[in-house]
A = this chain, B = another copy of it.
Amino acid sequence: MRGVASFCFALAVLCGRSAAKPNIVIIFADDLGWGDLSCYGHPTIATPNLDQMAREGIRFTQFYTANAICTPSRAALLTGRLPVRSGMYGTWNNSATNVMTQVLHADGTGNLPKNETTLPAQLKAGGHYHSKIIGKWHLGIQPDSWPLAYGFDEFFGTPMMHGPNEGNQSVFPDMQLINNTKVVGRLYKDIDIHMLNIQYIEAAVSYIKTRAADDSTPFFLYFAPDNTHIPLFASPRFQNTSARGLYGDCVQELDYGVGQVLTTIKQLGIENNTFVFFTSDNGPDRRPDVCKSLPGEYCDPTTGGSAGLLRGGKSTTWEGGIREPGIGWWPGVIKPGQVTMEIGSVMDLFGTAMGIAGIPLPSDRVMDTVSLLPTLEGKGPSRDHLFHWRGNKLMAVRLGPYKAHFYTEGELEWNSPPLQEHNPPILYHIEHDPSENYPIDKQSPDYAPTMEAIKNLVASHLGNLTYGTPQMNICDKHECLWRPDLPVPPSKPYNCCQDPCSTW
């Protein structure tokens, strides 16, 4: 399949539009834990569709996000680059917690810099792909930085999550639901929030059907439902269906959505020409306190997902914050029933898509992506290391089976315990000890040579690193301008531009 694609790419004129490249569908869940699917061992959440996807495809046990929270992870997916290069990060600041500095909030004026090369733009330029994003964007809140400004042909979704954002609606107005560039309405007020994800699923099915009718143009669907970010809502059909409670209902609705997508693809007979990958943006949210501040229906203290046997969760660079379910599916190309322990990253979906479409990677910038095709095809590893950043700090490095923590922050809950530097670094054999319980003794014969290899890798990494302009600094007047075109009332409680950092 790859061969055909490459051949057609080389002979584009001869192959023309009639030899369509494979379609690409990326399904990107929100705050789903590594342990939340039945095929990853959850005891009381039923995910028959994702389990079947895994049986028909390949299930990664060591698949990683590019960042432990939302915005930078999504930026890395669409750029194939670490957020610290693209600018989708915040700088550490003693008066701001990591939570606040590193996603775009409702008043955020940062955005994915326009000179970044995005996946949909590349697919269009190199392969005439038609593309749509359905669901959560979160790479620019202002209208001039919505998806159509970055190469997507269509958009149906919201600029960020489905709020109410860190407060209540009297302070933060509801998020807009947008069709391309037009505001369809506001969540809660105009849109039944319980049906939001069902609307997204229907839009995904509809898009696939529409695009499949045009067999000369391949499509790229980036399907990013709000499940399972808090506040939790399940549609009536899924309410009280899961033994796990409301969180389980939402995972089961997500699972249904995946089933609808795959069933549609099969019904249209395009399954041998459509690559689908399922993963999530970061680990499970574990903030009972935040949860309690939300309106009663949304969550209970057991709301957060599970990272299974992994340590930590969302916002941390412990494995629980960055390792995710990862399932690849492409009948006829990916051998069914594979379970792989090879390392993969959300950033690699960029390189994989380029590989599938036969389009070369951008050569004018440093890319952090590789193609996962060798692993998907059962031929072996695609990469052997990963850099785990948070903001402008390189927190941890994975090399082969080892992982070194230079910094840690959060484990029990977000920023608790607080940021700690580790010098010498804490080293784990992450495959022997996936729960990060047993640091390798600094006197052991493994420690020094492994750390030397990791430090060399880091030196080379930092050597070619140009930091992007940070888009998510809040406590810096130059980065945080309150804009009157935003629907944020001046009474909002943490406008850092009116009220400097010291009040955080």
Contacts and interface: CB of A to CB of B under 8 A. Distances in A.
Interface of A: 35, 38-44, 46, 51, 55, 61-62, 243-245, 248, 288, 300-302, 306-309, 323, 339, 341, 401, 429, 431-435, 437-438
A39 B39 CA distance: 7
10 nearest A-B pairs in the assembled complex, by CB-CB distance: A41-B41, A43-B61, A245-B432, A243-B431, A44-B431, A302-B433, A40-B41, A301-B438, A302-B438, A306-B309
Nearest to A38: B339
Contacts of A438: 288, 301-302
A431 B339 contact: no
B432 A244 contact: yes
A309 B41 CA distance: 9
14 contacts: A35-B308, A38-B61, A39-B41, A42-B309, A42-B434, A44-B62, A44-B341, A44-B434, A46-B339, A243-B401, A245-B431, A301-B438, A302-B438, A309-B309
Given A44-B434, A301-B438, A51 B339 contact: yes
A302 B437 contact: yes
A342 to B, nearest CB: 10
The residue in A44, A323, A429 that gathers the most chain B C-beta atoms within 10 A of its C-beta is A44
The residue in A61, A300, A309, A341 that gathers the most chain B C-beta atoms within 10 A of its C-beta is A309
Nearest to A59: B38
Contacts of A437: 302
A480 to B, nearest CB: 36
Given A44-B432, A243-B432, A302-B432, 16 more contacts: A35-B308, A38-B61, A40-B41, A41-B308, A43-B61, A43-B323, A43-B434, A44-B61, A46-B339, A243-B401, A244-B431, A245-B431, A245-B432, A248-B432, A306-B435, A308-B309
Nearest to A51: B339
Contacts of A40: 41
A433 B301 CA distance: 10
A273 B308 CA distance: 37
A300 B433 CA distance: 11
B42 A429 contact: no
A44 B44 CA distance: 22
A43 to B, nearest CB: 4
Contacts of A308: 35, 41, 308-309
A428 to B, nearest CB: 9
Nearest to A323: B43
Nearest to A62: B43
Contacts of A288: 438
A288 B323 CA distance: 26
A308 B40 CA distance: 10
A182 to B, nearest CB: 40
Contacts of A302: 429, 432-433, 437-438
Contacts of A434: 42-44, 306
A176 B10 CA distance: 71
A52 to B, nearest CB: 9
A35 B435 CA distance: 12
Nearest to A245: B432
A76 to B, nearest CB: 22
Contacts of A300: 432
Contacts of A62: 43-44
A341 B41 contact: no
A236 B41 CA distance: 30
A242 to B, nearest CB: 9
A187 to B, nearest CB: 26
Contacts of A44: 61-62, 341, 431-432, 434
A200 to B, nearest CB: 26
Contacts of A39: 41
